[in-house]
Chains A and B, each alone.
Chain A
Amino acid sequence: MAKPAVRLQVVEFGVFVGLALLVARAAHVQLIHGRRWAEEAQAQRTERVVLPARRGTLYDRHGTPLAVTQETYHVGIAPNELRDPAVDGAVISRRLGLTARTWQEALRRRYAYFAGPYSALEVQPLRSVRGVHLESVLNRFYPDPGVARATIGRLGDDGAGGSGLEKMLDSLLAGRAGAAVVLKDRAGREYESPARVIAPPVPGLDVVLTLDGELQEIAQRALDDALRRMDADGGDVVMLDPGTGEVLALASRTRGGSARPSAFTDTFEPGSIAKIFAAASLLALRRVSPADHVSGEGGTWRLAGRTITDDDPQPSLTLADAIRVSSNIGIAKFAARLEPEEQYAMLRDFGFGAPTGIEFPAEATGRLRPPSEWSRPSAASLSMGYELSVTPIQIATAYGALANDGLLLQPTLIREVRNVPGGVRYRHRPEPVRRVVSPAVAATLRTLLRGVVEHGTGAEAALTNFPVAAKTGTARRVVNGRYAAGEYTASFAALFPADKPQLVLVVKIDNPHKGSYFAAQTAAPVTRSMLEQTLAAGTVALDRARLSTAAPRAAAAPLEDGGGVVPYVVPWPYRPDSTGAALRLTVPDVTNLGMREAVRRLHRRGFRVALRGWGAAEHTWPAAGDSATVGSVVTLFAQAGGHVARATPRAPAPAPVRRRPRR
Chain B
Amino acid sequence: MARGRHWVALWLVAFLVTTWIVYARQTAAIRTARALADLRARRANLDGHRADLERRIRTGESRAVLVPRAQQRGLHLPSDSEIVLIPAPGGSH
Contact = CB atoms under 8 A, between A and B. Distances in A.
Contacts of B84: 568-570, 599, 609-611
B64 interface: yes
A572 interface: yes
A535 B80 contact: yes
B63 A641 contact: no
B69 interface: no
Contacts of A580: none
B29 A608 contact: no
B86 A565 contact: yes
Contacts of A191: 30, 33-34, 36-37
Interface string A571-613: 1110100000000000000000001000100010000111101
Given A544-B85, A564-B92, A194 B36 contact: yes
Nearest to A463: B80
Nearest to B52: A121
Contact of A565 (B47, B75, B87): B87
B37 to A, nearest CB: 6
A559 B87 contact: yes
A547 interface: yes
Contacts of A611: 84-87
Given A121-B49, A218-B63, A614-B86, A566 B93 contact: yes
B89 to A, nearest CB: 5
A192 B88 contact: no
A441 to B, nearest CB: 29
Given A120-B45, A127-B41, A193-B29, A563 B90 contact: yes
A155 to B, nearest CB: 17
A569 B80 CA distance: 10
A218 B62 CA distance: 10
A547 B87 CA distance: 11
B54 A561 contact: no
A183 B77 contact: no
Contacts of B90: 561, 563
Contacts of A465: 80-81, 83
B64 to A, nearest CB: 7
Given A121-B49, A121-B52, A614 B89 contact: yes
Interface stretch (A23-31, A64-72, A395-403, A417-425): A64-72
Nearest to A548: B85
B21 interface: no
B89 A532 contact: no
A191 B40 CA distance: 11
B70 to A, nearest CB: 11
Contacts of A575: 74, 76
Contacts of B33: 183, 191-193
Contacts of A595: 86
A561 B87 contact: yes
A535 B92 contact: no
B81 A136 contact: no
A548 B82 contact: no
B87 A571 contact: no
Given A68-B51, A141-B51, A464-B81, A571 B75 contact: yes
Contacts of B44: 70-71, 120, 136
A121 B49 CA distance: 6
A194 B59 CA distance: 39
Contact of B77 (A119, A533, A547, A564): A533
A202 interface: no
Contact of A572 (B34, B54, B59, B78): B78
A380 B12 CA distance: 105
Interface string A46-81: 000000000000000000110010110000000000
A144 B58 contact: yes
A484 B36 CA distance: 67
A633 interface: yes
Contacts of B74: 573, 575
A575 B79 CA distance: 12
B91 interface: yes
A466 B79 CA distance: 11
A318 B17 CA distance: 103
Interface in B25-76: 29-30, 33-34, 36-37, 40-41, 44-49, 51-52, 54-55, 58-59, 62-64, 74-76
A192 B93 contact: no
A96 interface: no
A135 interface: no
A309 to B, nearest CB: 35
A143 B55 contact: yes
B62 A70 contact: no
B64 A464 contact: no
Nearest to A196: B33
A120 B41 contact: yes
Contacts of A65: 54
Nearest to B38: A127
B11 to A, nearest CB: 14
Nearest to B78: A536
Contact of A547 (B48, B64, B85, B92): B85
Contact of B88 (A563, A573, A603): A563
A123 to B, nearest CB: 9
B79 A464 contact: yes
A548 B84 CA distance: 9
A571 B74 CA distance: 11
Nearest to A144: B58
B86 A185 contact: no
The 10 closest A-B pairs by CB, nearest first: A191-B33, A120-B48, A563-B91, A464-B81, A608-B81, A120-B44, A564-B91, A463-B80, A572-B82, A120-B45
20 contacts: A64-B58, A70-B47, A119-B52, A120-B47, A120-B49, A121-B48, A143-B51, A191-B30, A191-B37, A192-B36, A464-B80, A531-B80, A565-B93, A569-B84, A570-B84, A572-B82, A603-B82, A610-B81, A611-B84, A633-B81
Given A124-B41, A568-B84, A568-B85, 11 more contacts: A120-B47, A136-B44, A143-B54, A192-B40, A218-B63, A532-B77, A532-B83, A565-B86, A565-B93, A575-B74, A640-B89
Interface of B: 29-30, 33-34, 36-37, 40-41, 44-49, 51-52, 54-55, 58-59, 62-64, 74-93
